[in-house]
Structure 1
Amino acid sequence: MNDQITFWYQKRHLSYSGENQPSPESQTYLSQLDSDILTPIEQHFGPITITYGFTSNSLLNYIRKHSPGDMCPKIDQHAAMELNTRGNRICEREGAACDFVVHGFETEMHVIANYITSHLTFDRLYFYGKDRPLHISVGPEQSRYALIRNTRSDGLRVNGKSAVGDATRELFLEM
């Protein structure tokens, strides 16, 4: 599996000293994310960088304390199948997710989104802009749901156009 998925935080959260090891259940989906999404993208376009990957309960607590932002652990699949301290799954959705950029396409991520929606099977894709990382997930539903998130002038992200299944292919064609 791509080590970037689990060690992404080492470039972004330098003072975090805890572990970020996935459970066997999470590992299954992280491996699927790597083989079904990341590897085909790397083979077609070139190297990728994970900007936000697997997030264990310990790392999630650290992020909430030190750099909270626009995140929704209950549904974003970054925690995969991990449990919180009460023994409940952190994310209600089964699967795993990461955010990434492709080298050479940092300002053309719509090209990558178009490739994913046209050629790969995925659960959810969140598009934040041509020059922003893509959020992609896999899971048992493989819903092929894509959502364009827009940023308002005050910096708040809001939902824009969305589509499901084959209709996702149309979202990124005219960008």
Structure 2
Amino acid sequence: MKMYCSRDTKAILKISDSNLMHLRERGGIAYEKLGRAFFYSLPAGHSVLAHPLGQSLLNWYKSKHDFLESNEPIIDSSILALEELVGEVLLPINRILGKPIITYGFTSFPLKKFIQKLSPTGTAPTLDQHSSHETNSVGKQICSRGGAACDFFVEGMATSDIVRFITQRLNYDRIYYYDNHRPVHVSIHLTEPLKHLQIMCESENGRRYPGKKAFGDQAAILAEDL
């Protein structure tokens, strides 16, 4: 059962300190007390995707694309994976490093079609996990890897520091690191996280190509050299 700190619980439920206290005292929310801090399990019908970071994960495209359809996940495993991405990666980063600014988040099938038609450069929907477990028009999963992914940065922080934090402390699937001034791509996997760090390089003509890579404990060691 996922537990969330008071600050995150208030943000998800959109309630004040006093309302959360009253909810706890009435027995309306399950909680644990560790020292002086309370941690909460969300009431039935509520999702961590209601947190501002969850909303950014779903609505990232609004400042980039004139796309008017829904970008909501419709596959149950997509919802679970996106919740895992928020709870296990974005919220810990938000608490310790600062607010993640999401530049590329969840991509539904309609949004994927829109992007592939108008601005496909640099995208790889069959590999990048941005479409999570969503399927195309013939019922085939868009990305065979599943999971969920986003690209983000933390204002004022080197991307290499973010990568080191993730590889040392969080449960992730894949990280693609480009350089200290570009967003980092990070994904999760619901069952088989690879803990794979891939460093991406760029040729003189601007073509990206894979450089060093590592898995597990070796990924954390490789991150130290960024």
Q: Normalization by structure 2: what TM-score?
A: 0.74
Name the residue aligned to 2:184. Answer: 134
1: CA distance between counterparts of 2:148 and 2:225? Answer: 29
After the TM superposition, which residues 1-175 of structure 1 pair with which residues of structure 2 at under 5 Å, given as runs? 1=49, 2-13=54-65, 15-23=66-74, 24-105=76-157, 108-139=158-189, 140-175=191-226
Gaps of 5+ in 1: none
Distance in 2 between residues matched to 1:17 and 1:121, nearest whole Å? 34
Q: CA RMSD in A?
A: 0.9
1:170 to partner: Cα distance: 1.6
- The count of aligned residue pairs is 172
Aligned residue identity for 1:125:
I
Q: Which moved more, 1:81-90 or 1:15-24?
A: 15-24
Letter in 1 for 2:171: T
Residues 123-156 of structure 1 deviation map (CA, whole Å, 9 limit, x = unaligned):
1000011111011111121110010011111111
Q: Distance in 1 between matches of 2:193 and 2:144?
A: 15
Structure possessing the higher relative contact order (Cα contacts under 8 Å, 6 or more residues apart): 1
What whole-Å deviation, never above 9, does each CA across 1:31-73 have from its counterpart, x for those lacking one? 0000000000110111111100000111011101111111211
Runs of 4+ in structure 1 off by over 6 angstroms are none
Percent identity, aligned pairs only, is 37
Larger Rg: 2
Deviation at 1:172, TM superposition (A): 2.1
Distance 1:25 1:47 in 2: 26
CA distance, structure 2, for counterparts of residue 19 and residue 151 of structure 1: 35
* Secondary structure, counterpart of 2:131 in structure 1: coil
> Structure 2, unaligned stretches of length 5 or more?
1-48
Structure 1 counterpart of 2:17: none
**Separation (CA, whole Å) in 2 of partners of 1:128 and 1:93:** 21
Q: Partner of 1:159: helix, strand, or coil? A: strand
What are the Cα deviations for residues 64-95 of structure 1, in whole angstroms up to 9, with x where unaligned?
Answer: 11111112111111000100001100000121
